[in-house]
Structure 1
């Protein structure tokens, strides 16, 4: 974790020391799993190209195939008017068929737990042949009400997927703590509902990466991989996403710990490569807050393209997405090499 600000650095971030501390058995397991884990192209890595450029969902499939990835994670709204949300069923089925021809697994994402939004996303997942549906709550109000409403929202999961084709993941998305997410899963009690661990989203809830990973570890099924810088914000922490390898996150160590989850087979089934340089999220939780803090309303995530030439910004985003694939594979190679005994 490079030049992390005071109060944010945490013990255990030295990945070489972590790998050296592993038993021979765990080191062999890490070395084996680091060779070819399931890496997915994430549409948010092309967020600006989807919003302001000409990128459409099939282009993400092409990117994943060119770079030898296992699948794609795509939001229902990626591509604006060209998105899966606005596509007729025939186009959704064609998208799924293209993914199948390329040997790619599809994961669908939405930024809501409201019943109409979940139903819409599940319909898209079924039409495309997707295997996973991710969501997160955006309720506002006292924390106790946010938790209760989210639990009530997720009571419909079986009705959305009566043939049990989908796995479901709840993402920590900046406002809820790890303990609160685990409590939601326990209260919902759905056998195919797990957590999606994002490398940086815990920062805004006042948690540090490795502490959040340790807390969520038993229930993590999928991951969003990115780097970010922690910024002091009104007594809490904001996060500014940045190019992989330039932030404050212990990425090697997080990858190693996630790869080790699961004894007989890997617990994490998808690592989404979610490069998102320039995405800024404010602090949502603060030290000393009461037992029932108020969660403010917020829109779905967006990145400001910033000033300057938009075409250059779109080109940079595409370059960074390619670079992240290379950097993450280099990190995995580092871990595999260090695990050799």
Structure 2
């Protein structure tokens, strides 16, 4: 029996398709999806757009009939180590909270601050302090921070992610799981997902081969990230949040690479749909980790 993927929960980070909003919207609509995740428009981060530019973004997304599932911020990310000015993150959260309200989403993606020469205990304490203060501010704004398994103190370690949830905790901090980050950062993403699954409120889908420092991104299912196994685990747990593609096939912000065509983004979306059909079925008895040829 063919199991159709949950199309109303499928989305993509728009600037992975192209820099301008028209390209981003068109790519999502070509997939027949009804949702988008926003990060940058015309090369500018959403929090840096002036009100006039943001109003145009809001109108375009609304007129296209798209829901916005999350705003991907720079808070605590690979470009903002723990020694970076905290005021930058507070200002960004304040702006994005207002824009969340306009766009109809409560989710803001964050990370947990790369180290910058500190001893681990001081790094940890500073991270927990900053995220606690951000979570309190998020509560006041009625938004939810989604910590991604990427850069920062808790980016690669399930125990640290769980400590964030326990110590910062509350309804204002949940976890964002990205299927493909483990290859680039040197850990087993699937093993992490098994540990953090009850706290996952949003999912990014990508895949990769290679090693830390030399990862190559590929279509979902073609790499070593066990994407199908991750999707199957999420399905079995009753995960009902968004699945948002961030394929890094054309756009890779940490490398300063911007997509010149939306074709690979669209291919990644179609591939996700196919993998979701596989993930909804029981695993093959001979090899539960194999991804069927697509």
Using the size of structure 2 for normalisation, the TM-score is 0.77
Within 2, Cα distance between the matches of 1:64 and 1:217?
27
Change (3 A) 1:230 1:213: farther
1:321 aligns with 2:265: yes
Structure 1 pair 68–147 and aligned structure 2 pair: CA distance change class (3 A): farther
**Pair 189,338 (structure 1): closer, same or farther in 2 beyond 3 Å:** closer
Q: 1:190 aligns with which of 166, 170, 180?
A: 170
Contact 1:35 1:333 (C-alpha < 8 Å) held by counterparts = no
Q: Note closer, same or farther for the CA distance 1:153–1:177 as it changes in structure 2 (3 Å cut).
A: same
Deviations 1:182-223 (A, max 9, x none): 111211123131110011223455421221110111111111
Residue 124 (structure 2) pairs with residue 162 (structure 1) = no
SS of the counterpart of 1:162? helix
Superposition pairs of residues 112-123 of structure 1, within 5 angstroms? 112-113=75-76, 114-123=86-95
Choose from 62, 86, 99 the match for 1:100.
62
Could you say which structure has the greater relative contact order, defined with CA pairs below 8 angstroms and 6 or more residues apart? 1
Q: After TM superposition, give the deviation of residue 163 of structure 1 in Å.
A: 4.4
Paired residue for 2:247? Answer: 275
Separation in 1, partners of 2:187, 2:162: 15
**How far has the Cα of 1:151 moved from its partner?**
1.5
Distance (Å, rounded) in 1 between the aligned partners of 2:62 and 2:255: 29
Change (3 A) 1:163 1:184: closer
Aligned-partner Cα distance in 1 for 2:37–2:176: 12
In the aligned structure 1, how far is the partner of 2:106 from the partner of 2:65?
A: 13
Is the Cα–Cα contact under 8 Å of residues 41 and 69 in structure 1 kept in the other structure? no
Change (3 A) 1:168 1:118: same
* CA positional deviation for 1:172: 0.9
The aligned length equals 264
For 1:61 and 1:125, the matched residues in 2 are separated by 22
Residue 301 of structure 1 aligns to a residue whose secondary structure is helix
Unpaired runs of 5+ residues, structure 1, are 1-27, 51-55, 281-299, 306-312
Q: Distance in 2 between matches of 1:249 and 1:176?
A: 14
Which consecutive unaligned segments of at least 5 residues does structure 2 have? 77-85, 284-294
Structure 1 residues 204 and 245: alpha-carbon distance in aligned structure 2, compared to 1, 3 A threshold: closer
> Structure 2: how far apart are the matches of 1:304 and 1:36?
29
In structure 2, C-alpha distance between the alignment counterparts of 1:202 and 1:178, rounded to whole Å:
12
> TM-score, normalising length from structure 1?
0.67
Matches within 5 A, 1:238-257: 239-257=215-233
Superposition pairs of residues 104-253 of structure 1, within 5 angstroms: 104-106=66-68, 107-113=70-76, 114-127=86-99, 128-129=102-103, 130-140=105-115, 141-156=118-133, 157-160=135-138, 162-164=140-142, 166-174=143-151, 175-231=155-211, 239-253=215-229
CA positional deviation for 1:66: 3.4
Larger radius of gyration: 1
Deviation of 1:238 after TM superposition, in Å, equals: 5.7
Match of 1:59 in 2: 23
Q: What per-residue deviation string (whole Å, max 9, x for no partner) do you get for residues 268-308 of structure 1?
A: 4111111113889xxxxxxxxxxxxxxxxxxx723557xxx
